């Protein structure tokens, strides 16, 4: 399920020789390697963004441990891929780690750039990799000693070149819908393109806002609109480049507050406040595949329950539909409009046969609904079958209908012709 790919070298390895610097490594997690929709998680562009790197790693560990135990995770890993770039700025990370003085004071760890001197006469030389991508790159400030120096030109650094080449190769060889999330630190925002402008919005801006609200559910990070006064323009960013030049859905997820330690989160704050909500957010991001800008707007399915009624040869399945799992609703009012199931193929497969299920919509909150349905045991393979479910919600303001997350249950029926009787084993000595 795991492969590691070397996508390029850091500045020190490229310029100082093989005994210096680091490789940039992509960890790929997928059950059946093939071209498929992919969640791309990139962290550590800012050298002192320690928390996002750790959350990225823990999400990989969570998926691996949950795969044999949780049906939703098994479905996701069986049908999609997750690519992790944990440390996108390894030279800078090493320098940032050297600033830790052992006291727990996070504000002493200030190094965020790579280690390319770029002509700086002091030890402050380096390039801010988060501003070195091509789309709307800006050459200011021109001082290579500045903390936010964007490089001599777009893609001047081997680290950003490696990320560019990897993403271009993915798009060329795997023409599916992908979702890229750039995990950054500080400010507690979830942002969508375009970060360089307060007037330029992506074509599907409203869908982006819904997705950002979906990912922000249950946590303190705010999904901000493009013209929010709390935002300052950022030039040459990874997500602007990814959306504008590669056509991929891209989100910047900035974790952690000033009170929690700024760019370097304090350990207690990290463990008690950030980790679990962030992992749930990334799991929701993975569940938006293969249609990130659609499935983020549809309902979730909760509390799936299965009962095997052998007296009547029926499989009884119940659950709830919930279209309210957002940080806030913007201007949307949604109503559950459909629920479907398919057998052995996820509903987004071209050959999947979808069947409607009746549901009972909540009279006060039309974005909530309960369902119960029965399936004849004789209609499924006795050796087992996987049943996939997907709800749909209608936006009451514009009539648009959006499908939601896919959930699944696996049914295995006992063989009625096989009756085994085990001898009684005495427990006496």
Residue 419 lies in a domain: no
Q: Looking at residue 426, what is its pLDDT?
A: 38
Residue 29 CB burial class (10 angstroms; 0-12, 13-18, ≥19): buried
Closest by CA position to 256, among listed 286, 226, 222: 222
291-301 pLDDT per residue, tens: 999 999 999 99
Say yes or no: 397 and 312 in one domain.
yes
Say yes or no: 243 and 336 in one domain.
no
Q: How far apart are CA 226 and CA 195, in angstroms?
A: 7
Closest by CA position to 284, among listed 273, 298, 271: 298
pLDDT confidence of 262, banded at 50, 70, 90? confident
Reported in sequence order, the residue ranges of 196-299 that DSSP labels E, i.e. its strands, are 222-223, 249-255
Residue 428 lies in a domain: no
Say yes or no: 263 and 387 in one domain.
no
Say yes or no: 117 and 143 in one domain.
yes
Say yes or no: 89 and 173 in one domain.
yes
Residue 360 lies in a domain: yes
Lowest mean pLDDT among 1-15, 57-71, 328-342, 375-389: 328-342
Q: Looking at residue 416, what is its pLDDT?
A: 56
Structural domain for 318, as ranges: 300-411
Q: How far apart are CA 131 and CA 108, in angstroms?
A: 23
Q: How far apart are CA 119 and CA 152, in angstroms?
A: 10
Greatest Cα pair distance in the chain: 86
Residue 48 lies in a domain: yes
> How large is the average pLDDT for residues 243-256?
97
Tokens of 73: 């995770």
> How large is the average pLDDT for residues 56-69?
98
Q: What CATH number has the domain bearing residue 274?
A: 3.40.630.10
Residue 181 lies in a domain: yes
Q: Looking at residue 21, what is its pLDDT?
A: 97
Q: Looking at residue 420, what is its pLDDT?
A: 47
Q: Which of 295, 321, 344 is where one domain is finished?
A: 295
Residue 420 lies in a domain: no
pLDDT confidence of 330, banded at 50, 70, 90? low
110-129 pLDDT per residue, tens: 999 999 999 999 999 999 99
pLDDT greater than 90 at residue 325: no
Say yes or no: 319 and 289 in one domain.
no
How many domains would you assign to the chain? 2
Q: Looking at residue 225, what is its pLDDT?
A: 87
Q: How far apart are CA 116 and CA 107, in angstroms?
A: 23
Q: How far apart are CA 142 and CA 374, in angstroms?
A: 68
Say yes or no: 31 and 131 in one domain.
yes
pLDDT confidence of 423, banded at 50, 70, 90? very low
Q: How far apart are CA 46 and CA 112, in angstroms?
A: 5
Q: Which of 295, 314, 331 is where one domain is finished?
A: 295
Indicate if the alpha-carbon torsion angle 110, 113, 115, 118 is positive or negative.
negative
237 near 178, Cβ under 8 Å?
Answer: no
Cα within 13 Å of Cα(27), Cβ side: 19
Q: Which of 268, 295, 322 is where one domain is finished?
A: 295
Q: How far apart are CA 217 and CA 215, in angstroms?
A: 6
- Return the DSSP state at 306: E
Cis peptide before 69 (omega within 30 of 0): no
Say yes or no: 262 and 388 in one domain.
no
> How large is the average pLDDT for residues 267-276?
94
Q: Looking at residue 399, what is its pLDDT?
A: 85
87 near 307, Cβ under 8 Å?
Answer: no
Residue 290 lies in a domain: yes
pLDDT greater than 70 at residue 171: yes
Listed in sequence order, the DSSP H helices in 71-186 are 71-79, 90-98, 158-173
Pairing of strands 23-29, 2-9: antiparallel
Q: How far apart are CA 292 and CA 222, in angstroms?
A: 19
Say yes or no: 393 and 280 in one domain.
no
pLDDT confidence of 429, banded at 50, 70, 90? very low
Say yes or no: 33 and 167 in one domain.
yes
Q: What CATH number has the domain bearing residue 321?
A: 2.60.40
Q: How far apart are CA 156 and CA 35, in angstroms?
A: 30
pLDDT confidence of 428, banded at 50, 70, 90? very low
> How large is the average pLDDT for residues 349-374?
96
Say yes or no: 212 and 333 in one domain.
no
11-40 pLDDT per residue, tens: 999 999 879 999 999 999 999 889 999 999
Residues linked to residue 302 through DSSP beta bridges, in sequence order: 320
Average pLDDT, the chain: 93
Say yes or no: 130 and 91 in one domain.
yes
pLDDT greater than 60 at residue 285: yes
132-170 pLDDT per residue, tens: 999 999 999 999 999 999 999 999 999 999 999 999 999
Residue 417 lies in a domain: no
């Amino acid at each position: 399920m795991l492969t590691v790919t070397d996508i390029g070298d850091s500045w020190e390895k490229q310029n100082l020789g093989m005994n210096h610097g680091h490789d940039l490594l992509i960890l790929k997690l997928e059950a059946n390697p093939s071209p498929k929709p992919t969640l791309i998680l990139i962290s550590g562009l800012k050298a002192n963004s320690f928390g996002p790197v750790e959350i990225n790693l823990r999400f990989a560990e969570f998926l691996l441990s949950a795969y044999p135990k949780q049906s939703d995770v098994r479905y996701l890993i069986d049908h999609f891929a997750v690519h992790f770039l944990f440390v996108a700025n390894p030279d800078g990370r090493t320098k940032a780690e050297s600033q830790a003085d052992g006291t727990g004071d996070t504000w002493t760890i200030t190094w965020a750039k790579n280690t390319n001197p770029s002509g700086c006469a002091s030890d402050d030389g380096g390039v801010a990799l988060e501003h070195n991508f091509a789309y709307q790159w800006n050459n200011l400030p021109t001082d290579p000693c500045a903390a936010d120096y964007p490089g001599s030109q777009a893609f001047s650094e081997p680290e950003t070149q490696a990320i560019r080449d990897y993403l271009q190769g993915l798009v060329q060889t795997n023409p599916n819908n992908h979702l890229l999330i750039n995990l950054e630190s500080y400010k507690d925002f979830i942002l969508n393109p375009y970060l360089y402008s307060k007037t330029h919005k992506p074509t599907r801006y409203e869908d982006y806002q819904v997705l950002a609200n979906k990912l922000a559910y249950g946590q303190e990070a705010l999904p901000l609109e493009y013209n929010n006064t709390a935002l300052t323009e950022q030039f040459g960013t990874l997500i602007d480049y990814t959306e504008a030049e590669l056509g991929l859905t891209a989100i910047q997820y900035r974790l952690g507050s000033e009170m929690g330690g700024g760019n370097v989160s304090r350990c207690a704050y990290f463990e008690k406040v950030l980790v679990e909500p962030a992992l749930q957010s990334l799991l929701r991001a993975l569940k938006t595949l293969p249609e990130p800008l659609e499935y983020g707007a549809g309902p979730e399915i909760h509390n799936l329950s299965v009962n095997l009624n052998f007296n009547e040869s029926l499989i009884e399945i119940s659950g709830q539909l919930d279209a309210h799992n957002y940080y806030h609703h913007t201007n949307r009012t949604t109503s559950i409009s459909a629920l479907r199931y398919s057998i052995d193929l996820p509903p987004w497969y071209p050959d999947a046969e979808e069947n409607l299920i009746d549901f009972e919509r909540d009279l006060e909150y039309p974005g909530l609904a309960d369902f119960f349905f029965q399936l004849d045991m004789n209609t499924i393979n006795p050796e087992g079958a996987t049943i996939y479910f997907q709800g749909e919600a209608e936006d009451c303001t514009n009539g648009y209908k959006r499908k939601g997350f896919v959930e699944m249950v696996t049914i295995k029926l006992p063989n009625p012709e096989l009756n085994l009787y085990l001898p009684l084993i005495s427990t006496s000595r």
